[in-house]
Amino acid sequence: MNILGKYGYAFLLGFKRTMEYRLSFFLSILSCLFPMVIQYYLWTSMYAHSTDLMIFGYSYRQMILYVLLASLLTLVVSAGFEWEIASDIKEGGLNAVLVRPLHYFLYRISSFLGGKLLQVLLSLAVIAALLMVYPSIAGQMWQLRDIAWFAAALLNGVVMNMLIFYCLSMLAFWISEVWGVFAGFGVVSSLFSGGVFPIEVFGVVVNRLLDYLPFKYIVYFPVNVLTFRVTGTAVLEGIAIQLGWMALLALLAQVIWRIGTKKYVSIGG
Amino acid sequence: MSILVQHLTKHYEYYEKEVGLRHSLKNLFHRHKLIKEAVKGISFEIAPGEIVGFLGPNGAGKTTALKMLSGILHPTAGDASVLGFRPWERKKAFKRQISIVMGQKNQLWWDLPANESLYLNKCIYELDDRAYADTLDELVTLLDVKEQLKVQLRRLSLGERMKMELVAALIHQPKVILLDEPTIGLDVLSQQSIRHFLKQYNREKQATILLTSHYMQDIQALCDRTLVINHGSLVYDGPLTHIRHADRHIKRITLQLYDAVESHVLEQFGRLTVHKGLQATLEVPGDELKRVSLLLLEQLPVVDFTVEEPPIEDGIAELFKRVAVVR
């Protein structure tokens, strides 16, 4: 018996597939750097008048740390399987999974995460390096406990984002061309999750609204745990809210899958 | 019974759009909904170990029926039982005992060698190492693709890929195998070897096989029994060879003449289907064969004379057409 099990092996195959196309992998890593460079110059010029300036409650150094960490975490949590799922639904690849003893989402997500493994490890390594080079940047030193809270918040953020995009990708059961929806939603969710800049930028009203949405718990919250903007019981509170969202999203995904597969009609007759 | 189907029915909804931008815009707001009855209350039974051919023109409902039997589609009405399971409930125990192969669809990973995908299937079906190794070896030997196991799938030929798909579909030794056009687009040799393989596999494992194909040779070589479906209804259930008998016992007479004869003369003897120079083919009802033959030999300049039954394709085409007219 293979100790990895079917999902473990699907994960491994996802990883192997990435390795088949190494150039593409390195290029994709490289392309992730550009937004960070742009962000760096953008904020540097905004703070140019005075380094004492506070914008949206962030000092220059805090802002740079935020946008760099947020870009890296966005990479870690990012989905990307929604295209695969939609084309499985549209073009009938789903059939091959439905007839085998296989949980569709676990299968897709396993192979996806396998393909993402290197990118995640690389991002985490960069975060670790950033923290080691500037240990004082956030104002205080990290204890093991802080890192553990951050890891928990990040992991929950990953699960939440995967579930959100899973639900979204199943729109393909009802809409046959979902690419526009994906692209649009991707932009909105990355903005609202705080993946581009801190959500304070949006002002009080939008922030009130974002309190009731899952997005800010995906990137904004884990970054703030790491930079000590959220501390003490607020961390526990945030993680509890994450868990609540995860349960809700998992339930929603289950329901959409039920209704969707019932309706599912693969092409051809 | 291995497969039991009762009044199985499937309706699809679809939309109609006329050509032109104006209609496209109109379509945005209002769509005229239409219903296609892909399968209309078919019933049949298949015993364990049988190989049954599923014939019908394009769009007759064959694939839809197979999809319902494999659990991919929910029927609109009716019921089916495969190995005692209702397929669309998708029970794990059911999935472990069946397999479906669709000619144009891939279950193997495109960017990796086939043995990686096959090993994934080993994990999925929880096969133990020994059973997996033995079955794999047996299958790749039978299909002669052992050498290609380590080659990235995208680099294989269509035929090799189809064979790999078959290996992947049979690695867990299913008791019921549904095949949708397993030989589509393949050259004659590959077709033959897949046919050969299926026959042997069926004999050795006593697996029940239901297959669709547009190649009559597939059906002729493999199936003792054929189901013909047209416009969603079952129109024939029996041995393939009986289809032509159903067609009013037509006999085909081919004549080689030593002197030219005009068409209208030949037409007096039966239905003239071919008339090229000194060669002519006539079709006559079986019970008139003797009388017509005597007259032909007596009245025409005949050198050579052969009688045969029309090819099965003709009988089937006739069957397809006739149902269309009745409809």
Chain A residues within 8 A of B24 when measuring between CB atoms: none
pLDDT band (50, 70, 90) for residue B310: confident
For residue A8, the chain B residues in CB contact (below 8 A) are 123
At CB < 8 Å, which residues of chain A contact B?
Answer: 1-2, 4-6, 8-10, 13, 16-17, 20-21, 92-93, 95-96, 98-102, 262, 264-266, 268-269
Which amino acid, B88? W
Tell me which residue of B96, B222, B110 sits closest to B169, measured CA to CA: B96
Q: Which residue, B5, B202, B173, B178, is CA-closest to B97? A: B173
Q: Are strands B271-276 and B3-15 parallel, antiparallel or unpaired?
A: unpaired
The percentage of residues in chain B with a pLDDT greater than 70, rounded to a whole number, is 95
Residues in chain B within 8 Å Cβ distance of A93: 105-106
Residue A182 has a pLDDT of 93
Integer Cα distance of B307 and B286 in angstroms: 10
Judged against a pLDDT cut of 70, whether residue B79 lies above it is answered with yes
pLDDT at A19: 86
Average pLDDT over residues B180-190: 86
Over range B51-60, report the average pLDDT. Answer: 88
Maximum Cα–Cα distance for chain B, whole Å?
75
Identify each DSSP E strand in chain A by its residue range.
Answer: none
Determine the 3-state secondary structure of A5 from DSSP.
helix
Stretch B50-59: mean pLDDT: 89
pLDDT at position B127 is 93
Residue A230 near residue A224, CB atoms below 8 Å: yes
Q: Is A232 helix (H, G, I), strand (E, B) or coil?
A: coil
pLDDT at B147: 93
Check residue A247 and give its pLDDT. 98
pLDDT at residue A267 greater than cutoff 90: no
Q: How many CB atoms lie within 10 A of CB B187?
A: 11
The residue assigned the tokens 């080079």 is: A133
Task: For residue B112, report the phi and psi dihedrals to the nearest 5 degrees.
Answer: -125, 160
Q: Is the pLDDT of residue B243 over 80?
A: no
Sheet of strand B176-180, all strands in order from the earlier edge strand to the far edge: B98-102, B176-180, B208-212, B51-55, B225-230, B233-238
Q: Measure the CA–CA gap between B284 and B270, rounded to whole angstroms.
A: 5
Q: Which is nearest to B303 in space by CA: B283, B278, B286, B285?
A: B278
Whether B22 has a pLDDT exceeding 90, the answer reads: no
pLDDT at A2 over 60: no
For residues B154-172, average pLDDT: 91
Residue-level pLDDT at A269:
35
CB A256, CB A170: distance < 8 Å: yes
What are the tens digits of pLDDT across the range A18-45? 888 888 888 888 888 888 899 999 999 9
Under the banding of pLDDT at 50, 70 and 90, the label for residue B35 is confident
Confidence tier at B248 by pLDDT (50, 70, 90): low
Has residue A168 got a pLDDT over 80? yes
Going by pLDDT thresholds of 50, 70 and 90, the confidence category of residue A137 is low
Over 50: is that where the pLDDT of B140 sits? yes
* B124 alpha carbon, distance to own chain's centre: 29
- If one compares A1 and B30, the residue with the highest pLDDT of the two is B30
Q: ipTM value, please give it.
A: 0.84
* pLDDT tens per residue across span A48-72: 887 678 888 898 888 998 999 999 9
Provide the pLDDT for residue A114.
94
Q: pTM, whole model, 2 decimals?
A: 0.83
pLDDT exceeds cutoff 60 at A1: no
* Chain B stretch 12-51, residues whose beta carbon is closer than 8 A to a beta carbon of chain A: 12, 36, 38
CA distances from B14 to A20, B26, B75, B140 (A): 41, 16, 16, 42
| Chain B residues with beta carbon closer than 8 angstroms to that of A96 | 105-107
% of chain B beyond a pLDDT of 90: 40
Rounded CA separation B77/B70 (Å)? 16
Integer Cα distance of B202 and B209 in angstroms: 7
CB atoms within 10 A of CB B20: 9
Q: Using the predicted structure, report yes or no on whether residue B62 has a pLDDT greater than 60.
A: yes
pLDDT level of residue A112 (50, 70, 90 thresholds)? very high
| Predicted pLDDT at B60 | 84
- Can you give the pLDDT at residue B246? 55
Which of B66-70, B163-167, B233-237 shows the lowest mean pLDDT across its residues?
Answer: B233-237
Residue of A nearest to B128 (CA): A1
Residue of A nearest to B110 (CA): A17
Q: What is the mean pLDDT of residues B235-249?
A: 73
Which residue of chain B comes nearest to A104, CA vs CA?
B124
What does A24-81 look like in DSSP terms, one character per residue? HHHHHHHHHHHHHHHHHHHHHHHTTT-TT--BTTB-HHHHHHHHHHHHHHHHHH----
Q: Which pLDDT belongs to residue B244? A: 63
